[in-house]
A and B are shown apart, each in its own frame.
Chain A
Amino acid sequence: MEWMLAASVGVVASCGVYLLLRRRSMSVVFGLALLSYATNLVLFSMGRLTVGAPPILGPEGESAVYADPLPQALVLTAIVIGFAMTAFVVVVALIAHRSLGDDDVDAPVAQEGEP
């Protein structure tokens, strides 16, 4: 099970990185979103995979097995911040598109005049 999930996350990460390296700004946004899915899952899985034991404490005095709450707390804020970051990139892409007239994220090499 662990390796299956790891492989899935790996595929998602590859897809994310591939899109991140495209030259159209919208593809970069998609890539960023996919990469955050993968990253969040990796981070989350550092607390190991637990089925059917959410970290909600049962009645007092009762000892039970719970999923690791710490990575969950970290990932929760990461998801929300991830949204803010995606929104930021989208706005940058919009403004770049408006002022440059296209959505290419690479400056033409020739224009730069530097190697």
Chain B
Amino acid sequence: MQLAFALFTPMLLCWLPILSPRRLGRNGSAWMAGAVTLASLGFLLAATGGAFPESPLIVPIPWVPQLGLSLSLRLDGLSLMFCGLVLGIGLLVILYARYYMVHEAQRDRFFAFLLLFMGAMLGLVASENLLGLVVFWELTSVSSFLLVGFNSQRPEARRGARRALGVTGLGGLALLGGVLLLGRVTGSFALSEVLASGPLVQADARYPAVLGLILLGVFTKSAQVPFHFWLPGAMSAPTPASAYLHSATMVKAGVFLLARLWPTLAGTEVWFVVVTGFGLATMLFAAVVALFQDDIKGLLAYSTISHLGLITALFGLNTETGVVAGLFHVLNHATFKASLFMAAGIIDHETGTRDLTRLGGLARTMKSTALLATVASAAMAGIPLLNGFLSKEMFFKEAVDVGTQSAQPWLIPTVATLAGAFSVAYSVRFVWDVFFRHDTGRLERNPHPPPPWMQVPVGLLVALCILVGIAPGLVAEELLVAVSHSVLGARTPDIHLHLWHGLNLPLAMSLLAVGVGVGLFRQRPSLANALGDRRLLPPGAQLYASTMGAIVRLARRITRGLHDHSLGRYLIALVGSAAILGLLPFLGPLQGDDDLVPITTRPRLALVAFSCLLVFGAVGTVLFHRRRLLAMIALGLSGLGSTLIFVELSAPDLALTQLSVEFATTVLILLALAHLPAHGPSISSKARRIRDGLIAGALGLGVTGLMGVVLTRPFDTIADYYLATSREYGGGTNVVNVILVDFRGFDTLGEITVLGIAAIAIAGMLYAIQIPKPATSADGRAWSKDQHPFLLRVMSRPLLPLLLLVAVYLMLRGHNLPGGGFIGGLVASVALILQFMASGLRFASPRLPFNFLATAAVGLAIALATGVVAMVLGVPFLTSAFSHVHLGPFDFELASALAFDLGVFLTVLAVLLITLSRLGHVGETDEESGGP
């Protein structure tokens, strides 16, 4: 439980910084974000007891067991190390961002996004379920999109964010495919089982597909060539976000997955070739490109890509010691790269630029920053006595051990040394160009030392680099053993971290790399000439841009073709395709019983009469549609016909509903007609009218055909179940109502939610809108002075309590007799609207001092609460309960569904009143909202 708290706290509380109380002062949101992170860390410590767990701690949290999807958590060495990185560096980034972000409102939002991302990252590294892992994986993509595009007013930020989301999202899709396939092969999505079935997976014919898809996800996330181009683009993120996402967390998600699935997927020749191949290519390519970046963050971004390549290559080598080295480098890279990004942010903050060609000589004014950044860069370059040196030595050793056994024994060690040399070169360039070059003439403002607290996180991280670098056995060995054990299990090699391994080949490679690196730095201009434009060539980026452009163009063409700003034209597309799809089945032989079996042959006079009313009303509406008042009356007749058909065909509930809705619709159209022209001369050409008539006729024929054919065929229904169990399970005899509030209560909840949304939309559109009512009607007649007829006024008032009583009665009896929340709510709203109609807004509004939007919310909340209460009682959502109640002379059945129905009642009532009263308010000026 503590574990669940630890891992879900940041995501659940990510809104806190935005709502942080103002009296906490300027640092409120930073305190909140820090407190949430600390709480998460505290829970994590409490859950583990401060030590690495011997065996994985697993907390099962079911979600959709039918799909094998769960939110189960797994805490072992690997996930604990990543949790520590995410939370620890997160805490430092929060402190740093407090001083980096200047605007307070901006800061609140930034911390909220940061916590959201932190939560997604924690979920990702601590998922026990592979599908759950994919869910969190996607969440990191989405939340990092928010962070990268944080300065959304800048186009390059938006572009960078879109590109990052596009590439990692595509990779996420591939990963989902790979995971689904992997689940098929192993028969489970639980990591414990997947990790134990390595041989099974590797023997399966689907292994290459699984591997390919999962690696696609890994390579896009960890920015391997050719998918790396999104990472430099994502440098448009605020620097604290870069320090967090692009050094320690987001981009490490890919290599995390390599480590996580190493026992299942690694060990084959194809794994070695693909993973090591991509890793080495990325490492070398990015290191070369990094040397020629003029933007500090660009340099660091390519350096990150290069180091990710190194880690990927280590996992690809198929050796246990390679895994250990990879995990070690994950830690080391996170510490020195986060501190370097922060230093870059400080430089940007104090000088206003990140351009290496304009910076210089900052060592004089920013002494402490210069010192810290130099040490961190040395760690990045792999200089002894720093942590980067240790893992790089281990990498060189692996490169020699594995490389010399492969077909080209010189290939891997050479690539490794060359990349190491470039790594030294760009580290030197960073430090030299920023701090030591004697040239500061091109700065816009005079640099001054940063606020001390801004340097504290950098200092802490650099101290860690030195500590690990000097005394690795003391500081890092135990941790690395525990983490490696969680990946490798019994295959864990003996791990001894020493600073000095004697004079050996890796040390020679390191020395060579340093020497060559310094040389490369000095020969930079001639090297740039030799490479020409190729050093800037971003493979992948172009392809991505042209593909996206083509997709957008295609989408635009389709949209323009379908939607050309004419409702009529695209309704024709819609109606026409409906007609065609509906008519297609009639072309072939009809399915089912070919003998048409009429069910009721005896003509019923009443049904014929009501149908005639329905049809005459509809035809009348068409004939009079240019004289709207007449059309409205005809429409009402048609509605009445429909109501009577419901009465005749055993649907009392429907008849009651339709009748009250008719009333409300009439009021609605009357209100609209006050503003819209009451007459509309035809503006369609004759040809168009004929075409529309043909389409309408075809559709009508289709409807008739469909309905007739279905009605004259044998019938099989699931209704018998409802009829048989309504009394027993639902405690009611009105089966329609029991279905609404009980059997299909979830549907009803959704439907009243839709009603609420419609009401909010209507209220929103009409908010503060004044539409002047025309002085006369369209044909020049003045409005009647007698707006609220005396007789109606007098009659309506005594009717109100009676109608409300009827409404409540209809609702209460609804479970057993025709009625219910919908009908009760409609009748009650009709009763209240009648008061508006009869006496005017001036009279009615002050007497109904309710905020109807709040009423709708209360109604929804009540309906939802009945469902939640059921869940709290341990039965599924919205399960109802009922019992007999004896109260003196009364003896009745009371169902919890009644509370649900009350929610429906309130929502329906509020929605109708919002709609009609807001519409009534539009155009109402003071002198004309009369009344007594």
Contacts and interface: CB of A to CB of B under 8 A. Distances in A.
A18 B693 contact: yes
A14 B700 contact: yes
Given A24-B680, A42-B706, A94-B771, A13 B719 contact: no
B598 interface: yes
Contacts of B710: 45-46
B650 A51 contact: yes
Given A21-B568, A70-B739, A9 B707 contact: yes
Contacts of B919: 87, 90-91, 94
B704 to A, nearest CB: 3
B173 interface: no
Contact of A44 (B646, B684, B735, B765): B646
B769 interface: yes
A47 B602 CA distance: 19
Given A49-B599, A66-B723, A70-B718, A103 B680 contact: yes
Contact of B765 (A13, A83, A92): A92
Nearest to B560: A114
B717 A70 contact: yes
B740 A83 contact: no
Given A4-B611, A18-B622, A73 B650 contact: no
A83 B665 contact: yes
Contacts of A40: 642
A56 B719 contact: no
Contact of A85 (B664, B703, B758, B771): B758
B672 A105 contact: no
Contacts of B922: 94
A16 to B, nearest CB: 7
A73 B734 CA distance: 11
A79 B661 contact: yes
Nearest to B743: A73
B740 A1 contact: no
B794 interface: no
B736 A73 contact: yes
A8 B654 contact: no
A105 to B, nearest CB: 4
B614 A21 contact: no
Contacts of B661: 79-80, 82-83
B736 A21 contact: no
Given A76-B653, A80-B826, A51 B600 contact: yes
Contact of B727 (A7, A48, A60, A77): A60
Contacts of A47: 717, 719
A111 B542 CA distance: 36
Interface string B617-641: 0110110011010011001001100
Given A34-B638, A41-B645, A106-B566, A72 B654 contact: yes
B739 A37 contact: no
Interface stretch (B102-110, B494-502, B748-756): B748-756
B649 interface: yes
A46 B716 CA distance: 10
Interface string A62-77: 0000111110110111
B380 to A, nearest CB: 54
Contacts of B893: none
B765 A56 contact: no
B734 A34 contact: no
Contacts of A42: 703, 706-707
A42 B702 CA distance: 12
Interface string B593-605: 0000011111110
Contacts of B607: 1, 4-5, 51
B736 A55 contact: yes
B911 interface: yes
Nearest to B757: A84
Interface string B905-924: 00010011001100100100
Interface stretch (B225-233, B381-389, B545-553, B569-577): B569-577
| Range, interface on chain A | 35 or more
Given A37-B638, A72-B654, A4 B723 contact: no
B512 to A, nearest CB: 64
Contacts of B668: 83, 86-87, 90
Given A72-B651, A104-B683, A84 B638 contact: no
B204 interface: no
A13 B654 contact: no
A13 B922 CA distance: 32
Nearest to A3: B708
B600 A15 contact: no
Contacts of A33: 635, 639, 665
A88 B638 contact: no
Contact of B625 (A10, A27, A83, A114): A27
A21 B692 contact: yes
A30 B650 CA distance: 27
B266 to A, nearest CB: 54
B355 to A, nearest CB: 44
B649 A51 contact: yes
B353 interface: no
B755 A52 contact: no
A77 B658 contact: no
A60 B726 CA distance: 11
Contacts of B653: 72, 76
A4 B751 contact: no
A44 B646 CA distance: 9
Contacts of B614: 8-9, 12, 37
B649 A67 contact: yes
Contacts of A77: 740, 747-748, 751, 822
Interface in B577-604: 598-604
Given A6-B711, A18-B693, 10 more contacts: A3-B711, A6-B705, A8-B614, A9-B704, A51-B649, A54-B650, A56-B733, A67-B650, A97-B676, A112-B565
22 contacts: A2-B707, A4-B611, A10-B703, A17-B696, A21-B571, A21-B575, A30-B631, A42-B706, A44-B654, A45-B707, A45-B710, A49-B600, A51-B648, A54-B651, A54-B818, A56-B818, A77-B747, A81-B751, A83-B668, A90-B669, A92-B765, A93-B676
